[in-house]
Amino acid sequence: MPSSRRRSKDPADCEDPACADMADLLRKGRALAAKNKQKAASNTATDGKAAGSQAQPSSSAAETDEHAASSSRNDGCPLDKGELGAATWGLIHTTAAHYPEKPSKETQDQARALVTGLAGLYPCTYCRKDFREEVRKLPPDVSSRVALSLWACQQHNLVNEKIGKPTFGCTLPALDERWKKGKPSCWEGGAEGV
């Protein structure tokens, strides 16, 4: 394979938005804009004047990047790595929380297919490779709602440990409160049970 197509194991080397944080994408965009501005300035500096000082992202620009990345986006942009991960784990956990206590063989096959499909198709390349390996080592337990919920929590905690996030208590009451029933504050508007 040509070296230009090789991917390193460093997540920063992935060019796809699904592999990057929004703050990273904004910083890269600012750096590219600064580089283009500098290049344009040097091209127009033919009148003997020195080109202007190099454009560097200011600390306020970095703060703006962080703020933009942390704010909720509904701007037609592709999901970044964090948004995609949160949405995917939400799907997996919510599916497990509503999975039957005694699933049919067909339902078990569908649950297995959901997990293996994600492990094979996940858009973030290095995330996909890692998840596929973890699923190979510990396949989903689709025998019951409890088993699938606990499996999903264990898998999610493996990822959280790798990326330095806190783990979640893998008990059924905690999982049900988070993914099925919600806290009372979730239903303050009278939408409980909806």
Tell me which H or E stretch contains 39: helix 22-43
Which pLDDT does position 174 carry in this prediction? 96
Which pLDDT does position 76 carry in this prediction? 87
Which pLDDT does position 58 carry in this prediction? 47
Give just the sign of the alpha carbon dihedral 93, 98, 102, 104: negative
- Rounded to the nearest 10 degrees, the angle between the axes of helix 125-137 and helix 105-121 is 140
pLDDT per residue as tens, the chain (194 positions): 433 333 344 555 566 666 766 566 566 667 767 777 777 776 655 444 544 444 444 445 545 444 455 455 567 899 999 999 999 999 999 999 999 999 999 999 999 999 999 999 999 999 999 999 999 999 999 999 999 999 999 999 999 999 999 999 999 999 999 999 998 888 876 555 54
Which pLDDT does position 51 carry in this prediction? 43
Which pLDDT does position 188 carry in this prediction? 78
Give just the sign of the alpha carbon dihedral 144, 147, 150, 151: negative
Which pLDDT does position 3 carry in this prediction? 37
In terms of CATH, what superfamily is 81-187? ERV/ALR sulfhydryl oxidase domain (1.20.120.310)
Please count the other Cβ atoms lying within 10 Å of the Cβ belonging to residue 171: 12
pTM, 2 dp: 0.65
Which pLDDT does position 167 carry in this prediction? 97
